[in-house]
């Protein structure tokens, strides 16, 4: 039974990574698709390849996810992790179906918290680690908004007197580079979350003695993320690409550049962030730099509501899932 449960954890973690890929494809390519810098097919395949390469970059975020939510791997088991993944996957699928750009990172953190609370109790949670993760998730979009305003204002200052047509033509080509940077940054942060969950389970089951991500875990997680990205996420691409703020090549470039810097900076500090939140914040920031009412704040409020509900919703689903699984394995 333990081996079967471990296999289920791996499968669910890779399914989460795959869903994360097509759920968050919009993060990397929505701006370049909406401004027609790249065709949708080329953009998706560019994002898929660079997501894979980014996922192979490091394991710092994986270690944070695997060791900063739960006090010790000995305090969780396969049933707990399975329940956590069910909660995260269900939320991702619901928000994808509704076209709401919610956070896969929030969903995963909420799922783990809910499952651990029911299975072991609050004493198993590493409160200071959770606070660090939540602070990174909360402040990263705010940083993205502020830096988005600064970067967009700086670009306006540098090219403000040039003809809009010539500026947009140049920045449309530069968007290919910024989309590539964003795709790599996305892979470097998001794919590591599934790596962290799988490695946590391997340590908990006694297959590993220290929290070091095995090469095979890196490869399968990176592959799942790349495959999911290749599947595309068109519902959310439409929201990210045009419903928050009408993007032009210059603003699309600024948003991608800003997002990739914020996300990659978080990866260097081993902090998990929501790429959805960061990109949304960047788009709001560059839109605000143009004029405050250029941003469709009604859509932003709907997204914010989904973000606030994510952790408690996934925690509840994961808690119920654990109760159900406990009945099955008795």
- What is the arithmetic mean of pLDDT over 103-123? 90
Distance between first and last Cα of the chain: 11
**Mean of per-residue pLDDT scores for the chain:** 83
Give 120's DSSP letter.
Answer: T
- pLDDT confidence tier of residue 300, bands split at 50, 70 and 90: low
pLDDT of residue 234: 55
**Helix (DSSP H) and strand (DSSP E) numbers for the chain:** 13, 0
For residue 271, give its domain range: 2-329
243-258 pLDDT, tens digit each: 555 677 888 889 889 9
Domain count across the chain: 1
Please, is 3 exposed, middle or buried when counting C-beta atoms within 10 Å of its C-beta (0-12, 13-18, 19+)?
exposed
Q: 101: left (phi > 0), else alpha (psi -120 to 50), else beta?
A: beta
CA distance 277 to 75: 31
Which of 96-105, 193-202, 281-290, 305-314 holds the top average pLDDT? 193-202
Q: Which of 14, 85, 107, 91 is nearest to 325 (CA)?
A: 85
- What is the arithmetic mean of pLDDT over 69-98? 88
The lowest-confidence range among 62-66, 86-90, 131-135, 288-292 is: 288-292
CA 209, chain centre distance (Å):
28
CA distance 305 to 289: 24
- What is the arithmetic mean of pLDDT over 66-70? 90
């Amino acid at each position: 039974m333990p081996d079967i449960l471990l296999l289920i954890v791996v499968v669910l973690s890779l399914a989460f990574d795959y869903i994360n890929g097509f759920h968050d494809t919009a993060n990397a390519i929505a701006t370049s698709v909406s401004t027609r810098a790249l065709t949708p097919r080329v953009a998706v395949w560019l994002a898929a390849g660079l997501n894979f390469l980014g996922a192979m970059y490091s394991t710092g975020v994986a270690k944070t996810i695997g060791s900063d939510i739960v006090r010790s791997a000995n305090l969780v088991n396969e049933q707990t992790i399975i329940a956590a993944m069910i909660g995260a996957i269900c939320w991702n699928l619901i928000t994808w179906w509704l076209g709401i750009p919610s956070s896969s990172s929030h969903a995963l953190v909420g799922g783990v918290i809910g499952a651990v609370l029911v299975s072991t109790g609050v004493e198993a949670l590493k409160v200071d680690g959770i606070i660090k993760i939540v602070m990174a998730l909360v402040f990263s979009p705010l940083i993205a908004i502020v830096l988005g305003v600064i970067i967009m204002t700086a670009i306006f200052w540098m090219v403000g007197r040039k003809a809009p047509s010539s500026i947009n033509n140049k920045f449309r080509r530069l968007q290919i580079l910024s989309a590539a940077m964003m795709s790599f940054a996305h892979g470097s942060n998001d794919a590591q979350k599934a790596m962290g969950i799988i490695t946590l389970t391997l340590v908990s089951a006694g297959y590993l003695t220290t929290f070091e991500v095995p090469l095979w875990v890196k490869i399968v997680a990176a592959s799942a993320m790349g495959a999911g990205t290749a599947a595309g996420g068109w519902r959310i691409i439409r929201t990210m690409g045009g419903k928050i703020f009408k993007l032009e090549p210059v603003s699309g470039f600024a948003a991608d550049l800003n997002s990739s810097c914020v996300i990659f900076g978080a990866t260097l500090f081993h902090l998990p962030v929501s790429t959805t939140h960061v990109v949304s914040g960047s788009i709001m920031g560059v839109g605000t730099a143009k004029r405050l009412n250029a941003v469709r704040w009604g859509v932003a409020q709907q997204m914010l509501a989904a973000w606030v509900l994510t952790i408690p919703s996934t925690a509840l689903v994961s808690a119920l899932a654990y109760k159900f699984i406990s009945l099955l394995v008795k």
